[in-house]
Chain A
Amino acid sequence: MVLSGAEIVIRCLQEEKVEYVFGYPGGAVLFLYDALFNQDQVRHVLVRHEQAAVHAADGYARSTQSVGVALVTSGPGATNAVTGIATAYCDSVPMVIISGQVPTAAIGQDAFQEVDTVGITRPCVKHNFLVRDVKDIAPTIKKAFHLARTGRPGPVLVDIPKDVSMHKCEFSYPDKVEMRSYNPVVKGHQGQIRKAVQLLLEAKRPMIYTGGGVILSDAAEQLTKLTRLLGFPITNTLMGLGAYPASDRQYLGMPGMHGTYEANMSMHFCDVLLAIGARFDDRVIGNPDHFAEEPRKIIHVDIDPSSISKRVKVDLPIVGNVRDVLDEMISQIEAANARPNQEALGAWWKQVEEWRSRDCMKFKNSDEIIKPQYVVQKLWEVTGGDAFVTSDVGQHQMWAAQYYRFDKPRRWLNSGGLGTMGVGLPYAMGAQLAHPDAQVACVTGEASIQMCIQELSTCKQFRLPIKICNLNNRYLGMVRQWQQLFHGGRYSESYMDSLPDFAKLAESYGHVGIRVERPSDVEGALREAFSRKNDLVFLDFQVDQTENVYPMVQGGKGLTEMILSAEDL
């Protein structure tokens, strides 16, 4: 069948079973939009800014197991997409971004809306391609999806010049990809796994530390099984929340800068640390020299060898896919019918429980003023702990992570690696489209939400009944907190003046807006919002302006040197 390049692109997306493409048209992609127009299998979501197209596709991917797809035009379309691409890259999210480019003959001529998209995005994609011949479109898109979803996932960009999308050729979609230069390891090394199991069984103070890799590899079930089998304490990073049920007793909460006392103490003082799909980020282990002071054996399971021994020296590396490695560990333990050292484990749990009894997540609630933590607690209650929760970046993000207890994977969508304000609403759009009947909440701040507020219009067009919980503290709260603690209380440019009336703003987009000022109204407002199954509701909570996020490990400090509450200051 002879098709145009544009038709081939759409046929490829159909072959990949793509349900939604998030995008925005322009000159260089007109043929692609024409090809979209003539079919109804792949649905297009017209966003209001290309950054949101990429974020929404990213949110779609995070909340499902599939590759997110975005489509943007050349020049400003592509540059607007860059923040979205970098955000997905930092959190290893599988995505394919298709960008239009000026015609091949015009490349390098400073043509209208020409930028070197492949050059600009090179450092923030897993890989990218410039397609120079219509015959290459299908094999390139096949490769792009393969690269995006296999190995350590990530965004892949395909740049298609306008003339290439217009030229015609015979279409056939390759059924497999062969790349001699790309063969990620899946199965872990048997011998290494055996040694790891041995080390785990002999451990006296074991600890399991897991991250985004468990979610990306869809291995929550295996992780839960292994953790229960061993009976060890476990912590999940900000990117790994929900991989192990937060309501379970073995779960110690999140580690790191705003992690729990018990998780951080256990990370620090364990004698065997099993790290699974987590990358020892600086927000997790604090000062690496301080972390290295305490001797412990580290086992690290990761599909990307460059994640291993990057920031922390690892004793037992296992390169492989989390799911396969955990399956193997479980079967070895079951086959050996072995149990960890119960006596030592009992003593260790006693210590862990003592740390836990500090109750570091307690906060002083108030009848007068709404505490942001309280809103998140109530959100958890009202949604039965079963919502998809997205967040932006700042204090509200940390409170959402700390107080919404995730029992399932892929329910928590946030930007951990790049920390991109503005992701919350588009992530919620992606999640709601992927799960039309699910409850989707976006926990945001009055500053972050304004970075993609235009998407309220997209939400109206596509009838997305998202519940926005704006923890409105009239401050760039996270910035204000650092200024209070480390810059002598000089609040330089961290106030949010001249805010809109968010409830009215939402109404002007055709949504429901509710302003909430009193603690006693919080629960009612949430219930009202979630009872409106078909409406987007913007809840504008006026929260305590001075509240800070605790516990906190300051930058450069060791994991155990935590500020637990305002009284510690």
Chain B
Amino acid sequence: MRHVISLLIENESGALSRVSGLFSARGYNIESLTVAPTEDASMSRMTIVTTGSDDIIEQITKQLNKLVEVIKVVDISESAHIERELMLIKVRATGKDRDEMKRMADIFRARIIDVTEASYVIELTGNQGKLDAFVAAIGNELILETVRSGICGVGRGDRVLKV
């Protein structure tokens, strides 16, 4: 099962490698990991997308909690939550593809943020599925580069992850 784990961690050098080292040492999957400081610069917020059986997910959250610099851990995918990912995708845009690319961007509510004679850079946010659909719709032949941020997640409504 796919899970989205959010955590608050002291914003100290080496903290990220403690988390990623934990995953590799214990053989847990990481699908994506994003991290950046919060409004309180002494803390970072991390979103980890992982897969595993219930037992493994239980161990992952326990092991994360055990890291001395980790302040809080929540599996936000256990209830209603929002996920977003940012993608920058550079596509070939010449001849008839140029209009087609523009049309696709509109359909997906993406934005073209850089234009040259031969290419566009398109910016798109959404959940993972939407981004995957966009990539599929464009097709690999026309894609020059894709850059994805990995997922950020937050619980809906009253559920707040804070110290």
Interface residues of A (CB under 8 A from B): 118-119, 122-123, 126-127, 130, 147, 179-182, 304-306, 309-310
Contact = CB atoms under 8 A, between A and B. Distances in A.
Interface of B: 9-10, 13-14, 17-18, 21, 25, 55, 58-59, 62-63, 65-66, 68-71, 163
Which of B13, B14, B25: most chain A CB closer than 10 A?
B14
A123 B21 contact: yes
Contact of A180 (B13, B62, B163): B163
Contacts of B71: 180-181
Chain B at the A interface: SS class = helix
Given A122-B17, A122-B18, A122-B21, A305 B68 contact: no
A119 B68 contact: no
Contacts of A310: 59
A87 B139 CA distance: 53
Contacts of B63: 306
Contact of B59 (A119, A123, A306): A306
B58 A309 contact: yes
A417 B18 CA distance: 22
B62 to A, nearest CB: 4
Contacts of B25: 123
A305 B17 contact: no
Given A119-B17, A181-B10, A126 B62 contact: no
B70 A181 contact: yes
Contacts, number: 36
A123 B68 CA distance: 13
Contacts of A306: 59, 62-63, 65-66
Contact of A181 (B14, B17, B62, B69): B69
A119 B25 CA distance: 13
B68 A179 contact: yes
A126 B68 contact: yes
Given A179-B68, A181-B9, A304-B66, 10 more contacts: A119-B17, A122-B17, A122-B18, A126-B68, A181-B70, A305-B62, A305-B66, A306-B65, A306-B66, A310-B59
A514 B63 CA distance: 50
A130 B58 CA distance: 31
Q: Which 9 A-B pairs have the closest CB atoms?
A: A306-B62, A127-B68, A181-B71, A305-B62, A123-B25, A182-B68, A306-B63, A306-B66, A181-B69
Contacts of B14: 118, 122, 130
Given A119-B17, A123-B21, A181-B71, A305 B65 contact: yes
A118 B69 CA distance: 15
A60 to B, nearest CB: 24
Contacts of A182: 68
14 contacts: A118-B14, A126-B68, A130-B13, A130-B14, A180-B71, A181-B9, A181-B70, A182-B68, A305-B65, A306-B59, A306-B62, A306-B65, A309-B55, A310-B59
A148 to B, nearest CB: 11
A12 to B, nearest CB: 19
Contacts of A123: 21, 25
B67 to A, nearest CB: 8
A196 B59 CA distance: 23
